[in-house]
Chains A and B, each alone.
Chain A
Amino acid sequence: MDRRQFLSALLGAQPAGFGAGSGPAARDAAFASFANTALPARKAQSVGLEPYQGEWTRQEASHLLRRCLFGFSQSELDTVVGIGVSAAVDALLVSGVAPTPPLVTSAKETTIAIGSSWVDQPYNGDLSYDRSRNLQAWWMGLLLGQAPTIREKMTLFWHNHFAFEWRTVGEPHHTYFHLQKLRENALGNFKELARMITIDPAMLRYLNGNTNTKSNPNENYARELQELFTIGKGPEIAPGNYTNYTEDDVKAAAKVLTGWRDLRDNRNAEFRPNQHDTTDKTFSSAYGGTVIKGRTGAEGATEIDDLIEMIFSQTETARHLCRELYRYFVYYVVDDDVETHVVRPLADLLIGSAWEIAPVLSSLLKSAHFQDVSNRGCFIKTPLDLVVGSLRSLGSSLPTANDLPLQYQVWLTLVDQASNMQMELLEPPNVAGWPAFHQDPVYYQAWISSDTLPRRVQYTDRCLGTKGYQIGTWYLLPDLVGLANSSATDPSDLAALVNGLALRLFPIPITDSQNTYLQSVVLAGAPAYEWPNNWAAHTASPADATKKSVVETRLRNLLKAMMAMAEHQLC
C-alpha cells in the first residue's frame, strides 16, 4: 500500500475483527471519539539537559529501564538503583557481544542440520518464507534474552527509522544482513549507518533503488532518504518546496543514486557504471546550491558520499533525528520549550560528536529533563514492550536451546502475538515506520484500538494462566512467589505488596483507593488476616504444594487485575 493512502486509512487498516458486533465501524468510532484531535498542551518544561541530580530510587531507576529495555527483572532494577544514574546510563549504553545467527529448526532445510544457520547458505526460494519467519523468531529470542543494555531498543529504533518490510524484500539473507547493520550500529554513527542503508540490498529492493537507472530514474529512495531518513520534510513554503529540500532535490538525488543493484547471495550491492547518470547534479538553495559532480566509471559510486555529506552538513538533519529519538524515549509532544532546551542542544551534540549516537543518548538519559516527573508514564507500551516486557517482568520461564524447534516455536508465537497487536517485527506498515512514532496528533495512541486493547489484556491473562502461557509443550510459567518476594520487603503486608508490585508494573503510583481495590481482589471477601496467615504458612513450609497454591492463586488474581488496568499499558 502506498504510504499516503495508508496514513489516511490508519484506522481502517486494522485486521478484520472479532465477529458479532465489533465491525470496523465500531472500532473507528471509539478511537475517533477518544484519541487526540490535537496535541495535548504540556506544562512549560523548566528542565533541560543538565544532569539529573535528584533522588535515585526504584521509581527513577525503573523509569530509565522501562524506556531502555523491554521489561526488567527486580535484580536488574536493584543493580541500577545501586550504581546511580550516571553509571546506570553508561552500563546501558553498551552494545555487548554480537548474537549467534538464527538457527535452522525446520526439517525443510534439507542441506543444513537443525542447529546450524542458514545465513551463509545459498538463496532458496522454497525456503525463503520459513527463513524469514525463522528470522522473526530469532529476533524475538534476542528481545526476550536481552542483556540489560539499550542495544535491542535502539535496534528497533533504527528498524522503525529505516523501515522496510520483509514480505516486500522477499530475500531473507538481505533482511538478515540489513538487520545486522542496524544491530551492529545500534549505538554507532548515524551518518555512517545512513550511508550503509542507502546501498543496502534490502533497502535497494524495498524502495526500488535497484531499478533506478539513468534512463529510467526512480525517485522512491531519494525521496524517503530526505523526507524520512535524514533531514525530514519541513513546511511546504512554495509548491514543491518543503523548506529543507525541494522536488528538484528529490530528482537530483535520484540521479546521484542511479546504477546500484542488489544481487542474490551477495550481502553487498553492486554498482553498474553504465546505468549511472554521469551528469552533474545541482541542488536547491535549501542545500546551498550544492553541485555534485557527475562521475564516470567506478568513480560514479562515490557520488553517494557527496550526497550523504551534503545532507549531513545540514543542522536540520541532526534535529530531525533528535526529535525522533525524543519521541521514542521521552514523549511525543515536542513543543517550543522542548525544541529549544532539549532537541537543539542534542542536535548540536550529535553534530559535535561527528554523528555518534551514544553521546546523545547519554546526555538525554542522564538529563534532568528525562527524569522530570511529568515524563514518567506518558508513553503507551508498544506491543513488543507489552509482549516481551510482561514475560520479563513476571520472571516467566523461557524456552531453552535444548529443544530448538520448540524454542523457535515459542518465539514465533510471541512474534505473532505482537503482530496481532499491530506490531510485526520486520514488517512495519510502510516506509514511515509504525504510526505511533510519527502520526500527529495521535502518536502512541495509534497502538490502541477496539481490537488491540482487548488483545493486550487477553495476552497478559494468558501469561497468568494456571500453568502460565502454554505454547506447544512449553509453559511460560511466571515466578509469582519470587515476584512477590522481590517486590516487597514483607509480602505478608498486603498493602505494601500491592504498592511494591505497582512500582514494578506501573510507571505511575497507584492511589490509595486503587490499592484498596487490589487488596480486595486478593481477599475476595475473606477477612484481611487471611493473606498474612497464608503467606506465613507458605513461607514456613515453602515445599508444601497446597500452601504454595493458596498464595499463588491470590497472586495470580492480583496480577491479572493489575495487568488489566489501564496503568499497565503505560510505560
Chain B
Amino acid sequence: MDRRSFLKAGFSAGAFGAFHLASGQFSPTFAGLPAPALGRKTESEESKRILVVLRLDGGNDGLNTVLPLDQYDNLANARGNILIPASKALRLTNTVGLHPAMTGLHEAFMNGNLRIVQAVGYPNHNQSHFRSTDIWFTGSDSNQVLESGVLGRYLDGQFPNFPVGYPSAAKPHPPSIQIGSTLFTLLQGSDAGLGMAINDPSSVYALQSNGLDAAPDTPAGHELTFLRQMASQTRQYGDALKATMSAAATKSALYPATGNRLADQLKAVARLIAGGLQTRVYVVSLGGFDTHSAQVVESDTTTGKHADLLRQISVAITAFMDDLRLMGVEDRVVGITVSEFGRRILSNASFGTDHGLAAPMMLFGAPVAGGITGVNPTIPAKVTSSNNVGMQYDFRSVYASLLRDWLMVDKAECQRVLLKDFPGMDLIDANFSGRPPGTVRFKFQVRQYDRQTTFSYNLEESAPVNLTIFDLHGKTVRNVPGGTKSAGFHEAILDTRSLIAGRYFARLQVASGSQQLGFDVFE
C-alpha cells in the first residue's frame, strides 16, 4: 500500500457511513513547517518520483571526501601524506568541509540540495569488495545470504510477476534502468532482474556485445551480424527508450564534452526522465575508488586520482541537477551515492588507503532536506591499521528513509523490502515526505455535521497525541483528552451547539509534529 492509499483507507465511506461531508476540507499544509528552502521546494506527484543510485566502485575514501575539520590534529598523524589541507576545504559548517574538487556540490549544499549522512555502514563489516558489495546491494546482514537486491524487492512490489505480462499498458516502461553491462544485484528481484542494463548511454538501444569487434567474415559471422543488427533494433523497450531519448534534448550547458563518464551517464538519465520514461529507478556507476596507491599527488594532496574522481562526481551531479531544473523535472529526482566501504584512517606509504569500514553517503536533488546527518567520526590520537571509522548509521536506514519518505511505500512494504524494521532519518524535505521532521506519519481530518464536529486521525505508529480546539483569537475553547494513542484510526466527537457561531481551529499534535485545520460553527 502506498502512502496515499494508507491515508485514504482511514477515511473510506465505510468508516464514516453515509454522513455528508460539510466543511473541514482537508488542507495539505502542515502547521509548524519551516518555510520551503529558497521557495523552490514544491511537492511532486508521488507516482512520478525517481531514485538515481550512483555507485562508486571500489570503496570511496570518506575521510578525504567529507573532511572532519575538528579531527585534523589526529588525522594529520594518521594520514598526513594524503590529508587535504584544512585551508583548502570547502566549508559546509565550522567543522565539516568538502574536498576542494567538489565545488559544485558545495554550492548544492548551500542551496539546500545536498544531504550528507555521516559514517554509514553495517555491523560486522566485511572488507572484501565482492562480499561487501553484495551486502550493500542485497541489504543482508553480514552473516546472511540474500540473492535479491533491495531495489529489486521494492520493484517486485511495483511490478508483480515481472517479466510475465510486461510491458503492459499500465507499465509500459522498464522497472529500472542501469547504465552498464549487467544489472547489479541491487536490482535483482526475488525471481527476475527488475530492469534493463544499457551499455552505452549515447546509444540506449545498443546490444551488449556490440561495439567490441566486428563479426568474422564467415558464415557464422554473417548470422552474428544479422543477430546483432536485430538486437540493436528490437530490444525489449527499445522503441520506448528511443522515443523518450529523442523527446527531450539536453538543456544544461554544464556537462563536460569529454572525460567524464559519469556525466555522460547522468545526461542520458536526465533525457530519459524528461522525455517521459515512467521508469523510477536508475543506476549509474563510476569506477576507480579502490585507491590503494597514488590516491593523491605527493606535492599537492588536493590533486591526483581521488581528486579527479570527486571532481567528476561533483561536475556530473551539478550538471545533472541543472539539467533537471531546466527540463522542469527537478522536483521528481533524488540521487544517492553508494560504495561498498570507506577506507582505512591510516594511509599507507604509497600515498593511498586500504579497505576500511563506514563512510559518508551523499543525497542530492531538489527534494532532499539539505544538511548533515550525524557527526564527524572521532579520530584517535594514535591510529593503527586496525582503527577504522565506526558506523553511525546502518545503510538500510537510509534505504528505509528513501522508501518511506521519497518512494512513499508504507511501513509493512518497507519491512518486506528491507526484511526488518530499520529506523528512518529525516533526509527528504518535509514538503515531499509529507512528514514534519521527527514525527510519526498521520492523517488528520475534521468533519462537521449539524450538531457536532468529528475530529479523526489515523496514526501509522503509536505516538503521543494532543488535540486542541481554539478560536480565531487563539483562545483554547476545548482540550480533548490526549495521551499516547495506538496505531490506527481514532476519533473525537465535539458537541458544537455550545459554541458561538464562527470560525475555529483544531490543532493535532502528534509527537513533535502538528497539523491545524479550520472549521466553522453555524447558528
Contacts and interface: CB of A to CB of B under 8 A. Distances in A.
Nearest to A331: B219
Given A530-B128, A553-B134, A20 B172 contact: yes
Given A18-B236, A458-B236, A526-B133, A467 B191 contact: yes
Interface residues of A, number: 72
Most buried by A among B128, B130, B133, B231: B130
Interface string A459-477: 0011001110010000000
B233 A526 contact: no
B147 A467 contact: yes
B213 A566 contact: no
Interface in B48-70: 55, 57-58
Given A19-B172, A378-B223, A466-B188, A526 B130 contact: yes
B179 to A, nearest CB: 13
Interface string A14-58: 000011111000110111011110001010000000000000000
Given A508-B220, A513-B213, A524-B57, A450 B208 contact: no
Interface stretch (B163-171, B405-413, B488-496): B163-171
A570 interface: yes
Given A466-B191, A561-B181, A567 B236 contact: no
A466 B128 contact: no
A557 B129 CA distance: 16
A20 B172 CA distance: 6
Contacts of A470: 191
Most buried by B among A507, A524, A534: A524
Contact of A526 (B129, B167, B216, B231): B129
A156 B207 CA distance: 32
Contact of B192 (A26, A465, A511): A465
Given A377-B224, A520-B181, A554-B130, 15 more contacts: A18-B167, A26-B239, A30-B230, A36-B226, A377-B218, A378-B218, A378-B220, A450-B234, A454-B235, A465-B192, A521-B182, A524-B133, A527-B129, A566-B228, A570-B227
Interface stretch (A104-112, A128-136, A298-306, A544-552): A544-552
B134 A550 contact: yes
A453 interface: yes
A30 B233 contact: yes
A248 B233 CA distance: 48
Interface string A372-392: 011111111000000000000
A18 B192 CA distance: 18
Interface string A536-560: 0000000001100110011001001
A275 interface: no
Nearest to A22: B239
A30 B234 contact: yes
Given A20-B240, A526-B58, A561 B208 contact: yes
A311 interface: no
B286 to A, nearest CB: 9
Contacts of B356: none
A561 B182 contact: yes
A534 B207 CA distance: 30
A565 interface: yes
A408 interface: no
A458 B165 CA distance: 12
B318 interface: no
Contacts of B386: none
Contacts of B143: 546
Interface stretch (A224-232, A255-263, A441-449): A441-449
Contact of A566 (B130, B167, B224): B224
A220 B74 CA distance: 94
B224 to A, nearest CB: 5
7 pairs of A and B residues whose beta carbons are closest in the complex: A525-B57, A377-B220, A466-B147, A450-B234, A378-B219, A21-B239, A526-B129
A21 to B, nearest CB: 3
A564 interface: yes
Given A517-B181, A524-B133, A527-B58, A453 B230 contact: yes
Contacts of B169: 19-20
15 contacts: A19-B168, A19-B172, A20-B240, A21-B240, A27-B234, A377-B223, A380-B223, A450-B230, A453-B234, A458-B163, A466-B148, A467-B191, A511-B213, A514-B213, A534-B128
Contacts of B129: 525-527, 530
Nearest to A21: B239
Interface in B174-204: 181-185, 188, 190-193
B148 A566 contact: no
Interface string B115-141: 000000000000011110110000000
B197 to A, nearest CB: 9
Contact of A378 (B128, B145, B148, B222): B222
Contacts of B147: 466-467, 549, 553
Contact of B130 (A21, A550, A560, A567): A550
A377 B220 CA distance: 5
A533 interface: yes
Contacts of B227: 380, 448, 453, 566, 569-570
B222 A524 contact: no
A333 interface: yes
A525 B130 contact: no
Contacts of A458: 163, 236
Interface residues of B, number: 57
B342 to A, nearest CB: 16
Contacts of B231: 453, 566
A219 to B, nearest CB: 38
Nearest to B339: A525
Interface string A298-333: 000000000000000000000000000000000101
B290 A534 contact: no
Contacts of A467: 147, 191
Contacts of A451: 234
Given A19-B167, A465-B192, A566 B207 contact: yes
A458 B194 CA distance: 11
Contacts of B221: 508
Nearest to A533: B128
B111 interface: no
B373 interface: no
B315 to A, nearest CB: 20
Contact of B223 (A20, A445, A520, A550): A445
B71 interface: no
A524 to B, nearest CB: 7
A385 B190 CA distance: 27
Given A376-B220, A533-B128, A553-B134, A445 B226 contact: yes
Nearest to B199: A517
B191 A34 contact: no
Contacts of B218: 373-374, 377-378, 508
Contacts of A526: 57-58, 129-130, 133, 290
A379 B219 CA distance: 9
B35 interface: no
A48 B221 CA distance: 22
Given A19-B168, A525-B58, A549-B145, A570 B213 contact: no
A570 B234 contact: no
Nearest to B59: A526
Contacts of B209: 514, 517, 565-567
A557 B178 CA distance: 14
Contacts of A521: 181-182
Nearest to B188: A466
Contacts of A448: 226-227, 230
Interface in A168-194: none
A560 B145 CA distance: 20
Given A34-B229, A378-B222, A517 B212 contact: yes
